[in-house]
Structure 1
Amino acid sequence: MMRIEDIIDLDTHPLAQAGFGTRCDAILDDEGVLVLENFIRPAALAAILAESKAKQEEAYFCAQSHSVYLTPDDPAYPEDHPANRKVVSSKGCICDDVVAATSPLRTLYDDRTFRDFVARVTGQTELHPYADPLSSINIHYANRGQELGWHFDNSSFAITLLIQKPDAGSRFEYVKGLRDADANEMNYDGVDAVLQGTLQPRVLTMEPGTLVLFRGRNSMHRVTPNESDKTRMLAVLAYNSEVGVELSENARMTFYGRLS
């Protein structure tokens, strides 16, 4: 099993140093996204890639039609209204219980220094794994033509690690602060402008080994279709601010195809 210093480049990213955390916190608050390039050391990234390729045949693939808000249809509006207009997301996923106990991803996820850094930067008192056996660590796969449609996240932040980058397509696009979910301000006009292409998003470029913290609750975002035969592979590390939180059974069946 790799040690955490063999996985994270702690010289470039000194997670335990207060000053580094303060700078990262400021960037995340200002930009809505924190990009830590070359976060994972090459040998650890190679091990994660090898594991991801070996487990890909176990991935559950699905395609879903959903609104940008990830909510049921609102009968108060027509089908083509931004509240109800449908986009498509399609991907494969393997779950936490498929990720090996010796995987660098698990060592990273469980490491106290890393978890404390994420908590400090995102403003959480503490972070805990999901109580269900599937949701804490996921690896996502996008083959040619697969994409994530425009949406807002339900969670306040997301942590992703790019494992393999396709040769074309799969651009991460986002519009920061397009709505205010806490104030119930959905900004339908702004969402419509993005869907119509009259409001242009930012494009976030990244290379394999890059860790990204993203505030997607109020920032509309998508991943464009993969335009190559090289699979996009991405790890998602998910925590909760409270103990005992499970992803709902409906969500697990939708995204994973199973409950346990």
Structure 2
Amino acid sequence: MSTLNTILDLSAYPIDDPDFRAECRNTLARTGALVLPSFMTPKAVEQVRQDGLEKQHLAYYTTNQHNVYLSESDPAFGEDHAHNQKVTSSKGCITDDVIGEDSPLRILYNAERFRDFMSYVLDEEQLYEFADPLSSITLHYADEGQELGWHFDNSSFATTLLIQKPVDGGVFEYVENMRDADRGEMNYEGVERVLKGEVKVKQLSMEPGALVLFRGRNAIHRVTPTEGDITRMLVVLAYNTQPNVALSETARMTFYGRLA
């Protein structure tokens, strides 16, 4: 049975240490992104990778056309307006109910020490799992040519673990402070320039085992198409700041192809 000590490199990342926690919190607050390389041990990464390869045939694959705001088109604007322009996102996904009870992902997700660390770094009072049976832990596959188009997140933060890196491509790109969602400032002009490739983007460099916390509500971001015959594999550890939150049935059908 795996324990947190065998899953994480706690000597490099002392998640109980107040100074280390404060450093992580400050970095995330200052830059909107926190990358902890080799956070998960090589043995745990390999166990998750092998499990992911064995279960890849169970993945639900989708290709969606959407705008960067992940909202409906607005007829008040033209088709070429930044609000209505469509980008493509395509991926495969296995859901929480397919992740084994003995998986390092399950042990990590449920560990009180890890969740307490995450709560502090994210400046949240407490974090909760999803109330539905599919959404808490998901493993995503991007085969050759698959990508995530430019978009803003609806949630205030995202937590991911890279499990397998492709031969090339699959690069996480972003532009911070592109809008102010709370004020309703969508910055259409800035988004238009991003879509035209006129804005210099930042990239997050990551290798398998890296933990990434990212605030994507106001930072526009994408993952470039995977290149080569090695599938990009990424875990999303999804938490809520309130209890008893479930992904809507419509969203579950869209992303997972089923409700349970």
Return the alpha-carbon distance in structure 1 between the equivalents of residues 203 and 214 of structure 2.
13
SS in 2 for 1:174: strand
SS of residue matched to 1:207: coil
Counterpart of 1:215 in structure 2 is: 215
Match of 1:258 in 2: 258
Q: CA deviation at 1:47?
A: 0.6
What amino acid is aligned across from residue 74 of structure 1 in structure 2?
Answer: D
Report how far residue 157 of structure 1 moved.
Answer: 0.2
For 1:164-175, list aligned pairs within 5 A. Answer: 164-175=164-175
What is residue 92 of structure 2 aligned with on the other side? 92
Amino acid at match of 1:38: S
Q: CA deviation at 1:29?
A: 0.8
Q: Are residues 1:245 and 2:245 paired?
A: yes
Find the counterpart in structure 1 of residue 26 from structure 2.
Answer: 26
Cα offset for 1:205? 1.1
Shift in Å at residue 227 of structure 1?
1.1
Counterpart for residue 62 of structure 1: 62
Shift of 1:200: 1.6
Name 2:6's counterpart in structure 1: 6
Report the Cα offset of residue 76 of structure 1: 1.1
Give the residue type in structure 1 aligned to 2:9.
Answer: D
Q: Which amino acid aligns with 1:133?
A: P
Alignment of 1:162-241 (within 5 A): 162-241=162-241
**Take 1:192 and 1:209, find their aligned partners in 2: how far apart are those partners?**
34
Matching residue of 1:123: 123
CA RMSD of the aligned region, Å? 0.5
Q: Does 1:110 align with 2:130?
A: no
Distance 2:29 2:125 in 1: 17
| CA distance in structure 1 between the partners assigned to 2:92 and 2:199 by the alignment | 30
For 2:141, the equivalent position in structure 1 comes to 141
Give 1:203 shift.
Answer: 1.2
- Alignment match, 2:82: 82
What is the rounded CA distance, in whole Å, between the counterparts of 1:161 and 1:181 in structure 2? 26
Q: What CA deviation, in whole Å up to 9, does each residue of 1:149-171 have, x standing for no partner? A: 00000000000000000011111
Q: Tell me how far 1:81 sits from its aligned partner.
A: 0.5
Q: Quote how far apart the aligned CAs of 1:75 are.
A: 1.2
Letter in 2 for 1:117: F
Q: In 1, Cα distance between the equivalents of 2:230 and 2:63?
A: 19
Instruction: Give per-residue Cα distances to partners, 1:63-97, cap 9 Å, x unaligned.
Output: 00000000001111111101110000000000000
How do 1:16-55 and structure 2 match up within 5 A? Answer: 16-55=16-55
Q: For residues 183-235 of structure 1, give each alpha carbon's deviation from its aligned partner in whole angstroms, at most 9, with x where no partner exists.
A: 11100111011000111210111100000000000000000000111000000
Which residue identity does 2:80 align to in structure 1? D
Counterparts of 2:176 and 2:113, CA distance in 1? 29
Amino acid at match of 1:72: E
**1:79-126 CA-partner distances (Å, limit 9, x unpaired):** 110111000000000000000000000000001111011111111100
CA distance in structure 1 between the aligned counterparts of 2:65 and 2:181, rounded to whole angstroms: 22
TM-score with structure 1 setting the length: 0.99
Distance 1:136 1:206 in 2: 22
CA distance in 2, matches of 1:43, 1:204: 24
Whole-angstrom CA distance in 2 between matches of 1:14 and 1:178: 33
